[in-house]
A and B are shown apart, each in its own frame.
Chain A
Amino acid sequence: MKTCAIVDLLTNSKTSINEHYPKLKNIQVIGVDISEQRMHLCRNIVEKYHVNKTTCGDEINKNVKSRISLYCADGKTFGTNLFDPSTLIFDSIVALEEEAQKGERKRMNKSARARHNRKLRKVVSDEMKSKSNHEGTDKDDVIITVPLFDHVLVDAECSTDGAVRHMMHKLKKHDTACTQNLKLTDTNNLLSLVKLQKDLINSGFRLLKPGGILVYSTCSLSTEQNEDVVSWLLQEYSMDAYLIPVSFADEFKIDDNKDMIFEGSLGGTVRFHPNVVIQTEVDFNSRNAMFGGGFFLAKIGKRVT
């Protein structure tokens, strides 16, 4: 019902990745979200685990540098001529430099803020310059302005009907969003939500490198927002996109998974049914504890042409 990832234990094995990328030196992770409020929270979390010396831990592997940048921008147009480069609100290299310089001072004064903004602008212009020329225009004649990505995650906005814990929390507060989920039940609302999801997956796919991997996910279990969106993309990019079938139940040989993890109506996609068992201390056991919220995911590859 509740899970966490333990950072320290991640050092236990150093296998798989090395086989795929033996010379890897730099990882660049870019996060985009449209909501200023959510992005503020996101920035705090990234600062805690990546910048702040007392909470970010020791950098165990000095051979590989990771950089995280955050844009408070519309995911539908990110990385194209339609997106505004000044939406970069955080870059971990700039943040780490400033962390090293600032010493005791907590707040930035006017000139420090101006310097900060100049640095961020330079990060964006460097990013755009590093785009190679062959990564040309998209089929909708949208010009892509950033280098393409190896991995893209599109966890689209959805009607959140699978997020049971979140819904129960709302129910306690007598929030009508869970008893009248208009995003799901009102036809027009649902249509505009599905349109947004198609625009997001389309945007993610056009920013994907040939040979790269995209995962589309939602915390809804409605077919319109999941299988239908993925099928639409596969049709729209029938020459380039293909579904990579995944399964979480077979590989790990746990029979118990069978009533929690299902194949979607589009073969090769996965649906996780929500775990509604409340884990009190008394009945905390491995069977019930291992599953979380309702969730859908599909893995899509881009052909090398």
Chain B
Amino acid sequence: MKAELPQHLKPIPVSWLPKQLSFYAIPITYSLVKSNLFKDGRIYGMDVSSGAAVSALLLKDHDRKCNFDDNRKIIMNRSFDNQTSLRVLDLCCAPGKWLLSFKYYYQYHIAS
């Protein structure tokens, strides 16, 4: 992408989302649809606020530390050690960017 953008317009990593999600800010004048990276399926456009929803759903990075009662602690510590499959549902899914972000996140963040 750097090659497609002028020198002074580098994509900026969104610092308030976890690095694993790879969200970058790009100038509004940069046409995603016309870029080769987009045509090759190597990037997809998504509003950063929507990225926050993915992050809250899949990660614990944003959970505020608070004093839960014992009952809640048990829930938090539920063991996933033996879970071999994971099911994710998106009830109002179109246009489908969230579905992609789930797939990419899980596929790429498990040690192979």
Contact = CB atoms under 8 A, between A and B. Distances in A.
Given A5-B46, A213-B57, 10 more contacts: A5-B21, A20-B80, A28-B85, A55-B41, A66-B107, A152-B90, A155-B50, A219-B49, A279-B27, A289-B25
B92 to A, nearest CB: 5
B93 A31 contact: yes
Given A14-B111, A154-B92, A45 B97 contact: yes
Interface in B15-52: 15-17, 19-30, 32, 39-52
B16 to A, nearest CB: 4
Contacts of B47: 3, 292-293, 295
Contacts of B20: 10, 12-13, 15-16
A100 interface: no
Nearest to A207: B89
B86 A30 contact: no
B110 A17 contact: yes
Nearest to B98: A153
Contacts of A250: 64
A3 B14 contact: yes
A1 interface: yes
B110 A14 contact: yes
Contacts of A78: 91
Interface of A: 1-18, 20-35, 38-39, 41-43, 45-46, 48-50, 52, 54-57, 59-64, 66, 68, 70, 75, 78-79, 147-157, 200, 203-204, 207, 209, 211, 213, 215, 217, 219, 242, 244-252, 254, 257, 261, 268, 270, 272, 278-281, 284, 286, 289-295, 297, 299, 301, 303-304
Contact of B103 (A4, A68, A149, A157): A68
Nearest to A270: B52
A155 B98 contact: yes
Contact of B75 (A20, A24, A79, A211): A211
Given A150-B86, A156-B92, A284 B63 contact: no
Interface string B76-101: 00101111111111111111111111
A42 B62 CA distance: 28
A72 B12 CA distance: 36
A119 B85 CA distance: 22
Given A21-B110, A204-B89, A295 B50 contact: yes
Contacts of B80: 20-22
Contacts of A152: 88-91
A252 B59 CA distance: 14
B2 to A, nearest CB: 11
A16 B59 contact: yes
Contacts of A25: 84-85
Contact of B29 (A16, A34, A213, A281): A281
A50 B103 contact: yes
B102 to A, nearest CB: 5
